[in-house]
Structure 1
């Protein structure tokens, strides 16, 4: 007899049944350690969630496609124009104007000091058909007025334009270390400037709460959300104090969030941002309106080594921002950490979005994460954590300064980000958080990629280097703070690779490590592969071979002859636990007698004392500090 329904034929298991099945597979292993993880904010991430219904749905202002952004950041107006037109003809419908001096320009940026130069850069661009956004910069007010003057000169009706003027003095304080005037005066000037632009017909947004400086300095998802909300609240209060109605002040603000490579947390972060902004509006007595949300893929996740992997990172980030509800999205080209991207890299960045829009049709479902238990739980948790970070920043307010500004001035923000940055650096150094192509699976024979042959502008930081924290020195009467560093996650490994490349250029070969394998191929393959991968992550050569098998063990004479022929100064023993017990001490003594510095792959256990006495200087194993190990290896191998 057939069942009445498919549900009756296949009844759903409950949570207890699922857990019993999991426990059988784990065979006594710890459930918490194996299947439960935690975000950088300490949010518990379960392996399974029940279905959920969103109590409040994070909605966009209008359903449909997100807008595809392209950067206008070449210093030459003519070259910037050509690159931008190619992007627009290829499917982009938004230009991000990144003037020289903007942090996001990464040492480059459009040089346009007058209307004529800006007119050249935007020649052939029809602003009424696309969106324009200005990257925040120290000269943001001048840049905004310059763009407004150009659009007026062209006779375009400002009311028909979508221009985000990108004024963000708080973001400039975070990224450059100073405000050019006191906060009350700045608030009055912002209200005046926005009022004048509105009187000329521009609709805005005019102010941006940009979280990129915090993200690049190591911010967690909750810290980024807290900074975004605290910045927006500071602008609301400043504009209201300057005489602007609160609803008009609200409509003057847009947001820039970072789309990173953690798909679940990025989607939840974007959804949480919309809910938090609605809550802020409610607290102000306003009827909530959807935020204007720009997204940009993560600078800190880009790598200079094996940069093709950046294509995968950008795809995950783009997918996450689209699913999370971004209105506008800019994908950083995969070569951005190496220099100013060329037309090919820009085309790939653009097409990453277009494929997800046109072929994957991501835009056709509004908030596809709604009702998914995992996403709803993470969204709610980030709302709670982000609100807590906002309150923490607000408690720093005083002496006429809003919370976020006072927290930057006192170093409160910098200290919190430094703690997170150090924790992340430790996870990367120990490869608990691996970076494909850099700390894991490095490619010493990688092909070079091309960037535009253009040196960074004088006085600017090159694209591939960190901006170190420093106290800004500014004229008396301006507000100063320690600027936030801009740091990519892969930099420690890249420094080591660069050092090895310099050695190779000077000596004709890389510094090398001899893999002193013990026993048969089956005995040493796992640890030899681990050691080779580790050393190559620092640019050191560690050639593989078939080993030195002998009667009942290893041919020590053949091993020593191979070591001497290699010219290496560092030898790393690789074998099985049984092989170490039988042969490691003798092999280490013999290698040391030949002048080798001896390491061993694996944890020594009870053999540590005898191995140390035999001459083993260090042990490399899963969970060790790989960066520190590679620094020490360089000191030996390149000596």
Structure 2
């Protein structure tokens, strides 16, 4: 018997042998279409990468990332209770949200005086935590209140880890309103907060991400904003060394772990280029993360727990210094203690139990991550230079140039959502019409402030499907029944089941209830069952073979029975004959499902 390592008994694994095995498995299928995907920026995601030499790059300081929680209850006493519960439950950073901030989501505090700020942070020992202010256009005023509070309490500024979150250009992007004289105010804030740890200026990428920006566009906008703040601080009398230490960046983490990790690694490389161009030795940039508002759904919100956990892990693995995860019910209302606990504990598991923060740069040397990080860095640098040629981020926002480029990407993504090439679990895929409401606090959200011309939009991907579900709920509340579609199943269950299941799930995404059955072989029996269902819509479901012989007589029978709109599940070759028989539309993978459901919802109501 041979006494050799097992691996030596097999031929060496090579890329060529792997490709041959893949081609055989595809059986003539297109390799590019099946196994190669592309990002919104056109970057290729290959199915296989060879190991890569680790690229030296700036990383997070040793130790775990900070677990940050939003404090956004409008009642100051309840906000203080939120803060204490979060800190006692494992958080070590707080984000104090003012009601006027673009990312307040209809809630937040009215930070108008130092007494109110003191009340919101009652019993919170500021030297023991990290604090970030999120006050939007009121950022400079809120920073002044914080300084008064520190003086009132007698805390040593050198012991405080504070991010003032001053982001006048982010406010301009989100609201369309420019803040006059922000350059001088920013420089003065740095002077006023000399001696404090933390950062003064925040380059916040959330407005761009919520508007639909790609990863490259988000990185470029964040970098251009940070450079604008660097210039403003230098022009205000601060040396570059001090100025660069006063700036932090906030990027958005979403559920695509590959792109999120690569994006967070890329921003550190990009900032190091800026530092080198300024003649500075690169130092670690403070990189903050918040999970994506864009990916949150109101329907089946429990899926948001998985989305935010994946996003948090990806941001941490990518090197974020602090991660704020949005509670899973935030799109529905002000989250209660349970939702806050869930999102807090998810990060605790990642850091304390899974030990994801033990390695400083776990993606180093992984071929896919190294390639994607390098490509994002180069493309983002080129996009940053384009913004600079337009006069900088403020000028690009004012002219609408950046918004136009983002809109192009957003429309392509909206098309992908409408056709389910980008599926949304619980919204466009696997919807559950009988889901129960989840609990949120009984706090009425504020009306969203009007956005001026030039403001970037803020949209969640699931909103179009949620609007259809809301309309269905309204019909249910008024009539006791949802809009319905009769599944005209042809043949036995084994024949029609695949397409009837597909159709039922597709219609449910628009709030249309599917009325199923075991299938029919007689057109007259099918027509009678349709009449008895009370539905106005029907959808033929069967195999292509059954369609060839049974679809036309079935369609004619259904139309004669009063079917106002008839769909067919599938994409047959001879659509013309089927349309002539009465088929009004075709439901298939890749069709514009959103348009089909919008039409079906209107016709189902009569």
Could you state the TM-score of these two structures normalised by the residue count of structure 1? 0.93
Distance (whole Å) between structure 1 residues aligned to residue 320 and residue 259 of structure 2: 14
Distance (whole Å) between structure 2 residues aligned to residue 627 and residue 279 of structure 1: 43
Structure 2, unmatched stretches of 5+, are none
Structure 1, unmatched stretches of 5+, are 398-402, 462-466, 473-481, 549-553
Q: Deviation string for 1:135-159 (max 9, x for gaps)?
A: 2501000011111111110000010
Q: Does 1:509 align with 2:449?
A: no
Asked if structure 1 preserves the Cα contact closer than 8 Å seen for 2:140 and 2:185, the reply is: no
* Closer/same/farther in 2, CA of residues 85 and 604 from structure 1, 3 Å limit: closer
Asked if structure 2 preserves the Cα contact closer than 8 Å seen for 1:311 and 1:334, the reply is: yes
Q: Deviation string for 1:167-201 (max 9, x for gaps)?
A: 000000001111131xxx32122112211221xx3
Q: CA deviation at 1:296?
A: 0.6
* Closer/same/farther in 2, CA of residues 388 and 3 from structure 1, 3 Å limit: farther
Asked if structure 2 preserves the Cα contact closer than 8 Å seen for 1:217 and 1:485, the reply is: yes
Distance (whole Å) between structure 2 residues aligned to residue 203 and residue 323 of structure 1: 25
Could you state the TM-score of these two structures normalised by the residue count of structure 2? 0.98
Distance (whole Å) between structure 1 residues aligned to residue 573 and residue 517 of structure 2: 29
Aligned to 1:483: 455
Q: CA deviation at 1:610?
A: 2.0
Residues 122-137 of structure 1: pairs in structure 2 closer than 5 A: 122-137=121-136
Distance (whole Å) between structure 1 residues aligned to residue 571 and residue 7 of structure 2: 55
Q: Deviation string for 1:88-132 (max 9, x for gaps)?
A: 110000000111100111111112311111111101100110000
Aligned to 1:45: 45
Give the aligned CA root-mean-square deviation in angstroms: 1.5
Residues 29-178 of structure 1: pairs in structure 2 closer than 5 A: 29-60=29-60, 62-178=61-177
**Which of the numbers 518, 525, 536 marks the counterpart of 2:497?**
525
**Which of the numbers 274, 278, 286 marks the counterpart of 2:280?**
286
Q: CA deviation at 1:27?
A: 2.1
Distance (whole Å) between structure 2 residues aligned to residue 396 and residue 140 of structure 1: 27
Q: Does 1:595 align with 2:584?
A: no
Asked if structure 1 preserves the Cα contact closer than 8 Å seen for 2:98 and 2:104, the reply is: yes
Asked if structure 2 preserves the Cα contact closer than 8 Å seen for 1:39 and 1:45, the reply is: yes
Q: Secondary structure at the match of 2:136?
A: coil
Q: CA deviation at 1:347?
A: 0.4
Asked if structure 1 preserves the Cα contact closer than 8 Å seen for 2:540 and 2:569, the reply is: no
Q: Deviation string for 1:457-477 (max 9, x for gaps)?
A: 2x436xxxxx8xx534xxxxx
Q: Does 1:267 align with 2:255?
A: no
Count of residue correspondences = 606
Distance (whole Å) between structure 1 residues aligned to residue 548 and residue 569 of structure 2: 12
Distance (whole Å) between structure 2 residues aligned to residue 612 and residue 575 of structure 1: 17
Distance (whole Å) between structure 2 residues aligned to residue 220 and residue 212 of structure 1: 12
Q: CA deviation at 1:305?
A: 0.2
Aligned to 2:23: 23
Q: Does 1:190 align with 2:178?
A: no
Asked if structure 2 preserves the Cα contact closer than 8 Å seen for 1:599 and 1:620, the reply is: no
Aligned to 1:379: 373
Q: Does 1:543 align with 2:515?
A: yes
Aligned to 1:333: 327
Aligned to 1:295: 289
Asked if structure 2 preserves the Cα contact closer than 8 Å seen for 1:151 and 1:158, the reply is: yes
Q: Secondary structure at the match of 1:362?
A: coil
Distance (whole Å) between structure 1 residues aligned to residue 122 and residue 184 of structure 2: 34
Aligned to 1:250: 244
Q: Secondary structure at the match of 1:165?
A: strand
* Closer/same/farther in 2, CA of residues 633 and 227 from structure 1, 3 Å limit: same
Asked if structure 2 preserves the Cα contact closer than 8 Å seen for 1:305 and 1:494, the reply is: yes
Aligned to 1:478: none
Q: Deviation string for 1:532-553 (max 9, x for gaps)?
A: 11110001110222122xxxxx
Q: CA deviation at 1:385?
A: 1.0
Q: Deviation string for 1:259-285 (max 9, x for gaps)?
A: 111011100000011111111110111
Asked if structure 2 preserves the Cα contact closer than 8 Å seen for 1:208 and 1:254, the reply is: yes
**Which of the numbers 497, 506, 509 marks the counterpart of 1:534?**
506
Aligned to 2:448: 460
Q: Does 1:450 align with 2:439?
A: yes
Q: Secondary structure at the match of 1:279?
A: helix
Asked if structure 2 preserves the Cα contact closer than 8 Å seen for 1:3 and 1:9, the reply is: no
